[in-house]
Amino acid sequence: MAKKETASPSVRIEKPASTRARTTKHNKAAVSAPEPVLAAVAAHDVYDREAIAKLAYLYAEQRGFQGGSPESDWVRAEAEFRGQKSLIASA
C-alpha cells in the first residue's frame, strides 16, 4: 500500500484584517463637561433659584399672603425672571 503524502504540518493561513471601522463605546464621563464648567453652571443655577424665590416671595407679600399659592407665585416669578434674563442676553 502506498503512503499518502500530507501537506507540511502546522501551516497557518491568517485572515486579512477587517476593513470595518471599529466603534468605541462612549462613556458618560468622557462626554460630560469639565468640572469647572459644571461648577459654574451649578453656581448660576443656585443664583437663579435664589432670585426666583425672592421674586415669588415679593408676589406673595404684595397680595398680603392671602389667596394664591406658592406654586403660582413661583411660576410667575420664574417666567418673569427668565424673560428678563433673555432680554439682557439679547441686548
Residue among 75, 74, 73 at smallest CA distance from 64: 73
pLDDT digits (tens, 9 = 90+) for 39-48: 777 777 888 9
Query: Is there a domain that residue 14 lies in?
Result: no
Helix axes 35-62, 70-90, angle to 10 degrees: 120
DSSP codes, 69-86: -HHHHHHHHHHHHHHHHH
Query: Is there a domain that residue 20 lies in?
Result: no
**pLDDT-above-90 percentage for the chain:** 36
Query: Is there a domain that residue 2 lies in?
Result: no
> Whole-model pTM?
0.52
The residue ranking higher by pLDDT, 39 or 34, is 39
Range of the domain at 46: 31-90
Query: Is there a domain that residue 40 lies in?
Result: yes
Residue 29 has pLDDT above 90, yes or no: no
The residue ranking higher by pLDDT, 12 or 45, is 45
Query: Is there a domain that residue 85 lies in?
Result: yes
Residue 1 has pLDDT above 70, yes or no: no
How many domains are contained in the chain? 1
Rounded CA-CA distance 53/31 in Å is 33
pLDDT digits (tens, 9 = 90+) for 47-81: 899 999 999 999 999 999 999 999 999 999 999 99
Query: Is there a domain that residue 83 lies in?
Result: yes
